Structure 1
Amino acid sequence: MGNKYVVIDLETTGNAPKKGDKIIQFAAVVIENGKITEEYSSFVNPGKAIPPFIEELTGLNDQMVENAPDFSEIAPKVLTLLEGAYFVAHNVLFDLSFLQEELIETGYNGFYGPILDTVEMSRVLMPTADSFQLSELAIREGLNHERPHQADSDAYVTAELLLRLLERLEQLPLNTVKQLHKLSSGLKSDLDLLIDNIIVKKESSIETIPDILEIHHGIALKKGMDQTENSKMQQINYPVGNEEKEELFRKAFSAFETRLGQFDMMDSVYDAFNQERHAMIEAGTGVGKSLAYLIPSAIYAKENNRTIIISTYTTQLQEQLLSNDIPRLAKMLSFPIKAVLLKGRSHYISLAKFEQTLKDQDDNYDTILTKMQILVWLTETIYGDIDELNLSSGGMLYWNKIKNDETVFLKNKSWLSRDFYMRARKEALQSDIIITNHSLLLTDLVTDHKILPEYTHVVIDEGHHFMKVSGKHFGFTFDYLSTRLLLSQIGLIEQKQLLHKLEQILEKEWINKHELLHSFEVNQMMAELSLEADELFKVISYYAKKRKKASKGYNRISCRLTVDDANMEWRAVEISAERFIFFVKDFVEMVHARLDFIKTVQESLSAREKSSMEELTSLVEELKDLSFVVKNIFLHPSEQFVSWIEMDERAMQNATTVYAQPVTVENYLKEQFFEKKKCAIITSATLSVKNSFNYMLTELGLTASDCSVQQIQSPFNYKEQVKLIIPDDLPEVNAVPLEEYVASITEHIISIAEVTKGRMLILFTSHEMLRKTYELIKESGFLNDYAIIAQGISSGSRSRLTRNFQKFDKAILLGTSSFWEGVDIPGEDLTCLIIVRLPFSPPDEPLTDAKCDQIKQSGGNPFSDYSLPEAIIRFKQGFGRLIRTKNDRGLIFIFDRRLVTTKYGKAFLQSIPEVPVEKSGINEIIPLIKEWI
């Protein structure tokens, strides 16, 4: 750390210095010998007005800079600071380009010394960070960032971040540092110079590698946890009698808050396991269902020497179970318990493939950065799971080359003992509890290569998602972008991709030509296959445009695909699909013939050639799968399936996707899952409709005779904690144009926000309505001092938007689909929930349309048998966002008056906990809110 670093941050009037944007604040923090030695900051008079959006972002206004010096006055100080130093910034090219422009304009030489970018460094040295934004990294590292978007505060936090990054770099083993150095010349900044210094320093002393690391084939890895902490615990006999078990349950909970509902659920899960029958348990918010199924699962697994599978829908819940609930379980129980998380094979890295690709020379920037991220990550990870990493989209493309799958050419046994996937499977075979996801659970039913060990007992948490995942799983998807990507990775010979590498090997080995097609014929086949793929998507998009009914807003078309030989557009799709399948078949056979020949001489191939042929083999298998999908969607569609096209009208075929799914999954699940398992516990906070489980039982293919049902009420006092308000001065949602409805609800949102001081989550059912409401709130100017965060408009994932919402005192969060569930904002961070519209699926959505048709044909009522119960379950999910602990209090506003003006509205209220309901106009609501607060 002996170098001098000057960390710079600028606030500017815009982002284009060449177009006359100017600096309005300059800040620098100097680091020497690993310590901050100097700070300097100054406002700068830009000689022009500060735009309103910059004022809003930074809090800097014209008055603050009118008496500030011109840049020319501070330029000598800036150059003195930078002398002999690394120029460092968070997104360095932005700050450097501005500074260069200003320095040159005022007659000075620019800065031409070494540069470092803390974004780039963070990506490499903190590869598992959720986000590389400065404010997010500050939270992650526990750095105090008081005034984001003000140069002095940003520069100081960036300097503290740089010190952390330098420390991390120095702590890496020499092997890793040398590998990073080889790659670092391809970066945007001069990290290679810095790494060079570290190598010299490390080589001048004797390095001791920490006990937790090992070097294998030149790559530093964290040692595997072959023996978990739990397995070192002394074995204790399990209780046998019921009284002893009850005593164990009580003892286990003695250190934790007692929840009677939790005990009920534990008993029910344990009884269902023993009686070998299915059970559906709805556990209200706050019951603590995770521990209520984990404890009986652990005891039953130990007593019967069985493995219990726990399946969830979200990664978030898997991580919570593994990092929170399982350690709590270990503390509670008086015997050792082993639990592992198991995912699909492609989630894990193949170290053999990674080692091979490290030798490639012709990498692009994204690949270089991703390789560096992975080298650092391998010194930290014990699972080797891609979900831990934060990769760019280019990084994800590279991951596809190094993911774990079956290998033909790369039989590198030297990595077998360190293989993350094999280790995860081995641990799973020795585990009492395996945590996985719904998708893998379903994949394992039908695949020849089973990942999960044999099991008979399973807990399905977030069970209300199981049928939707099943629909996708038993269905097919065919989309333009992934098809195009697949074909481009194989490439034409002149594009120097995998087909080129295949032909090079054949040339080198001088393989008997009369047995194989000539290279130009091979190239011709690839060119024709690409053309056929494009043609197929063109006719699909033409079909969709001719038959478009439902527009999803944002130029989105969604239309059902129906077999109709009399229809000209359908015949064109059918003929094009036949041609595509024919070309795929010929191409795959040709490549296989060549690969089979290469296998006979594979001993003479270099490791890099083997790696390329491995990748080609994998892509050809994907191409075969694609052909199977096209056949099932277009040529042999099942009568039990519904197929539909979704596309963006602005693009000819770039955003076209075709889906095919079973209209109902009940028979699939009944025959392939529930009849094959002895006991499945389906649990969630939202399984019943008007206190009945009939809807969910039917959808999953279960009956009351083979599945017991139970409702466990939330321990929260909803009557005291919640007030539900229905404004009666809003128009009926379907009775007025969208613009008029948005204008009315926006007025109410503003009025409510001003009284509640924000802390508000607003749930929409359509992105179009969300966007229009957001724009109108912004235009009104009434809530300028509130942070308005909107899904799809504010950048970031759901969890990042939620974190940003929690950061501000006065904030409003607008969300659609994914925000109706899984968002956990306890305490005063959220005190007001608005549900804009009852969450019915649009009737013209293809899957909804097909389900309703099927119900009609079998003599049922589509609305009461499907649309209403589905909307109620979604509504219950939304309702559950507000009260997350026994101390929370809050208000829920339902803007959709159908809740009180229709007969079915009562069903929604009967499906949630009993709460006081108020109906009144906004003028009466305001004093009511004040009184409640």
Structure 2
Amino acid sequence: MTQRYVVVDIETTGNAAKKGDRIIQFSAVVIENNQIMNQYSSFVNPGVSVPIFIEELTGINDDMVKNAPTFTEIAPKIAQLLENSIFVAHNVLFDLPFLQEEFTNAGVERFYGKSIDTVELAKIMLPTSDSFKLGDLAERLSLSHIKPHQADSDAYVTAELLLLFKKRIEALPLVTLEKLTMLSQHLKSDVSLLFQEALEQNRQHIEKLPEQLEVYRGIALRKKIYRSNTSSTRLLSDYPKSHKEKDELLMSMFSHYESRDGQCRMMDVVYDSFQHSKVAVIEAGTGVGKSLGYLLPSVFFAIKEQKPVLISTYTVQLQHQLMRKEIKALQHILESPINAVLLKGRSHYLNLFKFEQSLTEHDQNYDSVLAKMQILIWLTLTITGDVDELNLSTGGRTYWQRIKQDGWHLANKQDPWKTRDFYQYAKQQALNADIVVTNHAMLFSEMANQSDVYAEFQYLVIDEAHHLERTAREYFGDKIIYNRIKFLISKLGIYDQKQMFYQLENILETHGIHGSPHAFEFESYLKSLDADIDDLFLMLAQYLQKQKHHSKGYQKVKIRIKKDILDSKNWNSIKWCAERISTSLTDVDKALRSRLKDLEEKKVQLNDKEQAFIEELYSFLNDWKQVKQEIRALYYEDDHLPEVLWLEGDLRALPTSISIQRQPIYVADSLQRELFSNKKSVILTSATLTINSSFQFFLNEIGYSASAIRTEQIASPFPYEKNTKFIIPNDLPDISQVDSMEFSEQVASHLIAIAQATKGRMLVLFTSYELLKNIYQLMKDSGTLDDFLLIAQGVTAGSRSRLTKNFQKFEKAILFGTNSFWEGVDIPGENLSCLVMVRLPFLPPDEPVIEAKSEYLRSLGKNPFSAYSLPEAVIRFKQGFGRLIRQKTDRGIFLILDRRIETTKYGQAFIQSIPNMKIEHQSLNETIELIEKWL
């Protein structure tokens, strides 16, 4: 029997029907026999005014709904439409309850049928999608979406989405459908109806498996493509030495290519450094084309010399961009194929054996079930098995920790999936590649694990190199997180006899192996350990509360633990508790390994399920070992290595928010010893490496001397003098002369007037979240920006990329950002016309790492401000300024509201760090007049 679906979308005045929010537009699309039959749509008079934000979002205003019927008038028709149908919506848990509430208010019987959520369905069928929002899915699937956020358009697109997903489900291999149908019984909506229907059809006429798929041990997966290293047989012309040759090559790559002398110069430096086994540090300003500047010579060198090049970026996002954009473009213009691969740490890859066995469990946990379904679909698509391709929920990420690849631990057994293992495949591809792309965190992580793969690469490019020192500090340090330790203990089995230790005991007893510790003894270990951890973090929470006066009113605090504190009586109890925990962790580790040894010595024949569990337990022990290492940070002291120890926590969520961190103060020697000394040639590049044209600060941080390397500074080709107005207001007070509230009020009034002149399109950068929040609130409460969308980091919900996308969608928008918004944000064109820096970006002097570095520099007879604080601030300043002009044709206003840039001697260091521009000193009225004329 063919099902009838009614796809519904509603627009409302808000999110809470029980609190008086009402429907302002309703639409329903009827699907029968897998075809759209008809659509009913109507505006609805809500009896209240449409909020400005809703009007801006949907385009629906009071005039459009004032003559529309009320919901009570159309409720009977809607109820009739839904009869004997399956209710479908994109986020059914919003639309259906809201509609039910309106039915009740209208005196109409509620809907009691089945419902399908296309958000839930999209998560399963498109597991690699970055977003499951309707507009983003429509764009990804090339569905026409004429009026986003209007019910008629949204309902129609959702209907098309449902039909598309139904077709994709019907095309799935039978073995995949069988598993999905079983798992789908535990979802929140009735998606199981779709899988059950497709399974019945598929069983009636089983079709041949697509060529690109195979079924192995009952799981359908994509066949891998194996490429050997064909460097010796490939033909590639000589590296293009002249600028003209490079231009001719790149013109065939980009239709709007413009010759850039700086980019050509960078290519030559990279190629020459590789050829002569040299180290080069290159600052390439915005617009130079840095990625191609190192990629093209790397490709030529790798293929011609048959020596692979490892490229490390700062973010996973940039890794993928290099592969999808720049390397793909180079593939088109070179007559020789490029073997380029992404390589990540082992735990990024799926362990197929563990996953296979997890499918046999009777698991009803929603996040695990959803993740299993996503992975089953993903296996028919992925060649890499890399978790970064997947969009998993937080709970799904927890499940991944169980099935991640971290080696095969059973010496007397072989992984039945070894021939299809994703990590082994990635390693093989990397060893046969020309270009291998990784990221800084992975580089250090694998270096610490003594990865045999990473050691093979003698030629290294480090992009976004200004992040290298900080990433190294994190990886050479330790971090203890309360929730992580508690989670590991819960996995072992405290108060839950379904957990790991009890499963191990059951396996041992099944094979007639008896020994100690017994389950009750082990439970006692765990309870004691759990109590000690609670005691430790309770003491740390009390310590943070006592230091509350240091927080300056902030809820999130960092407290540095100095030597005098470490030696105090108050800290002794914390230290002793940490030592007890360390001993207990060791005891638990020994107990588990002892029981595993019993199993190995008996040489019992484990079945697949038991084998998978033992592998998972070995993975767990690796994590347990890491916690043992981290907990030492609280009591172990090394007088020979300058380190910094600090506590972090949110005073509103103690002790669960507490983390303890220990980091080395300087990593230059470690970088040289562990990384650079093992490479023949290293290229370090970024847009921000110099202070007043000197690389000395950066070189000190990474342990190179200027005489030993080649440095190159390549200026941005953008016409800043022509396309940018640099303004320092002369009617704002010096921040050091007034209190914070007076400064906030004056800045807010300036920003309100400037926003009206620029019509939004403004990014405001802060160094303090508290100042951001104050100014945001003052501007919002002023009432003069009601037709503007104000988006503030930490106030408005969403990630950095989500806030940036929302900013770009609305014309009259202002984006307030701190920390991460100073770099990595790309808003080209007219979407950003004005960049405001409220304060110069000095990091707080009492921030633990800054304070510790300052003390260390002082002990060496250096001035901490000029040797560290100022250079760090200048680098951040350059990064922030780089947000404004992203393309040659961009134009923009650059405002600095911190008068210290002119009133102090060090202010010149900031001005000299950015391209030469005329500085305008103007009052607010003059600034507004200039903006209106110029923009």
The TM tier, using the shorter chain, reads: over 0.9
CA deviations over 1:616-672 (Å, ceiling 9, x no partner): 222223222211222244223454111111111223310111111111111211222
**Residue 640 of structure 1 corresponds to which residue in structure 2?**
642
CA shift, 1:690, in A, is 0.5
**Residue 717 of structure 1 corresponds to which residue in structure 2?**
719
Q: Is the 8 A contact 1:722 1:916 kept in 2?
A: no
Alignment of 1:668-817 (within 5 A): 668-817=670-819
Q: Is the 8 A contact 1:543 1:570 kept in 2?
A: no
CA distance in 1, matches of 2:728, 2:92: 51
Count the aligned residue pairs.
928
Over 3 Å counting, the alpha-carbon distance change for 1:189 and 1:512 in structure 2 is closer
Q: Which amino acid aligns with 1:698?
A: N
Tell me whether 266-275 or 803-812 shows the greater mean CA deviation: 803-812
Tell me whether 701-710 or 617-626 shows the greater mean CA deviation: 617-626
Tell me whether 766-775 or 528-537 shows the greater mean CA deviation: 766-775
Structure 1 residue 208 corresponds to structure 2 residue 205? no
CA distance in 2, matches of 1:53, 1:259: 44
CA distance in 2, matches of 1:113, 1:555: 47
**Residue 476 of structure 1 corresponds to which residue in structure 2?**
478
Structure 1 residue 931 corresponds to structure 2 residue 933? yes
Alignment of 1:234-633 (within 5 A): 235-236=234-235, 238-239=237-238, 249=246, 251-255=248-252, 256-409=257-410, 411=413, 413-492=415-494, 494-513=496-515, 516-548=516-548, 550-551=550-551, 554-564=554-564, 566-601=567-602, 603-633=604-634
CA shift, 1:275, in A, is 2.1
Unaligned runs of 5+ in 1: none
Q: Is the 8 A contact 2:431 2:453 kept in 1?
A: no
CA distance in 1, matches of 2:865, 2:189: 60
What secondary structure does 1:705 align onto?
helix
CA deviations over 1:180-235 (Å, ceiling 9, x no partner): 1110010111111221111222223341322222222222212212239x969972
CA shift, 1:424, in A, is 0.6
CA deviations over 1:718-759 (Å, ceiling 9, x no partner): 111111111111122233232222221121222111111122
Q: Which amino acid aligns with 2:844?
A: P
Q: Is the 8 A contact 2:227 2:432 kept in 1?
A: no
CA distance in 2, matches of 1:885, 1:517: 67
Q: Is the 8 A contact 2:836 2:897 kept in 1?
A: yes
CA deviations over 1:354-381 (Å, ceiling 9, x no partner): 1111111023011111111111111111
Q: TM-score, length-normalised on structure 1?
A: 0.95
CA shift, 1:520, in A, is 1.0
Output the aligned Cα RMSD: 2.5
Tell me whether 135-144 or 24-33 shows the greater mean CA deviation: 135-144
**Residue 850 of structure 1 corresponds to which residue in structure 2?**
852
Q: Which amino acid aligns with 2:368?
A: T
Over 3 Å counting, the alpha-carbon distance change for 1:323 and 1:56 in structure 2 is closer
CA shift, 1:42, in A, is 2.6
Q: Is the 8 A contact 2:835 2:884 kept in 1?
A: yes
Tell me whether 181-190 or 85-94 shows the greater mean CA deviation: 85-94
Over 3 Å counting, the alpha-carbon distance change for 1:50 and 1:277 in structure 2 is closer
CA shift, 1:17, in A, is 4.4
CA distance in 2, matches of 1:181, 1:212: 23
CA distance in 1, matches of 2:261, 2:860: 43
CA distance in 2, matches of 1:34, 1:401: 39
What secondary structure does 1:25 align onto?
strand
Tell me whether 488-497 or 111-120 shows the greater mean CA deviation: 488-497
CA distance in 2, matches of 1:382, 1:211: 14
CA distance in 2, matches of 1:141, 1:799: 21
Q: Which amino acid aligns with 1:917?
A: I
Over 3 Å counting, the alpha-carbon distance change for 1:132 and 1:793 in structure 2 is farther
Q: Is the 8 A contact 2:227 2:429 kept in 1?
A: no
Q: Is the 8 A contact 1:231 1:336 kept in 2?
A: no
Q: Is the 8 A contact 2:353 2:612 kept in 1?
A: no
CA distance in 1, matches of 2:15, 2:414: 50
CA deviations over 1:371-397 (Å, ceiling 9, x no partner): 111111111112111111111110010
**Residue 191 of structure 1 corresponds to which residue in structure 2?**
191
CA shift, 1:504, in A, is 2.1
Unaligned runs of 5+ in 2: none
CA distance in 1, matches of 2:83, 2:506: 52
Tell me whether 47-56 or 454-463 shows the greater mean CA deviation: 47-56
CA distance in 2, matches of 1:201, 1:644: 61
Tell me whether 827-836 or 728-737 shows the greater mean CA deviation: 728-737
Q: Which amino acid aligns with 1:6?
A: V
Structure 1 residue 664 corresponds to structure 2 residue 666? yes
Q: TM-score, length-normalised on structure 2?
A: 0.95
CA distance in 2, matches of 1:453, 1:123: 38
What secondary structure does 1:381 align onto?
coil
What secondary structure does 2:188 align onto?
coil
Over 3 Å counting, the alpha-carbon distance change for 1:270 and 1:243 in structure 2 is closer
CA deviations over 1:837-877 (Å, ceiling 9, x no partner): 11101000000001111111111111111011110011001
**Residue 922 of structure 2 corresponds to which residue in structure 1?**
920
CA shift, 1:95, in A, is 2.1
Q: Which amino acid aligns with 1:528?
A: S
Over 3 Å counting, the alpha-carbon distance change for 1:549 and 1:637 in structure 2 is farther
Q: Which amino acid aligns with 1:438?
A: H
Q: Is the 8 A contact 2:511 2:604 kept in 1?
A: no
CA shift, 1:414, in A, is 2.9
Q: Is the 8 A contact 2:236 2:304 kept in 1?
A: no
**Structure 2 counterpart of 1:823, from 822, 825, 829:** 825
Q: Is the 8 A contact 1:726 1:920 kept in 2?
A: yes
**Residue 124 of structure 2 corresponds to which residue in structure 1?**
124
Tell me whether 153-162 or 468-477 shows the greater mean CA deviation: 153-162
Q: Which amino acid aligns with 2:271?
A: Y
Q: Is the 8 A contact 1:480 1:537 kept in 2?
A: yes
CA shift, 1:795, in A, is 2.5
CA distance in 2, matches of 1:780, 1:233: 70
Over 3 Å counting, the alpha-carbon distance change for 1:250 and 1:888 in structure 2 is closer
Q: Is the 8 A contact 1:338 1:432 kept in 2?
A: yes
CA deviations over 1:570-607 (Å, ceiling 9, x no partner): 11111111111111111111111111112345644332
CA shift, 1:539, in A, is 2.0
Structure 1 residue 832 corresponds to structure 2 residue 862? no
Q: Is the 8 A contact 2:354 2:616 kept in 1?
A: no
CA distance in 2, matches of 1:301, 1:45: 67
CA distance in 1, matches of 2:300, 2:231: 18
CA distance in 2, matches of 1:805, 1:22: 27
CA distance in 2, matches of 1:647, 1:98: 38
Over 3 Å counting, the alpha-carbon distance change for 1:267 and 1:51 in structure 2 is closer
CA shift, 1:769, in A, is 1.9
Tell me whether 626-635 or 905-914 shows the greater mean CA deviation: 626-635
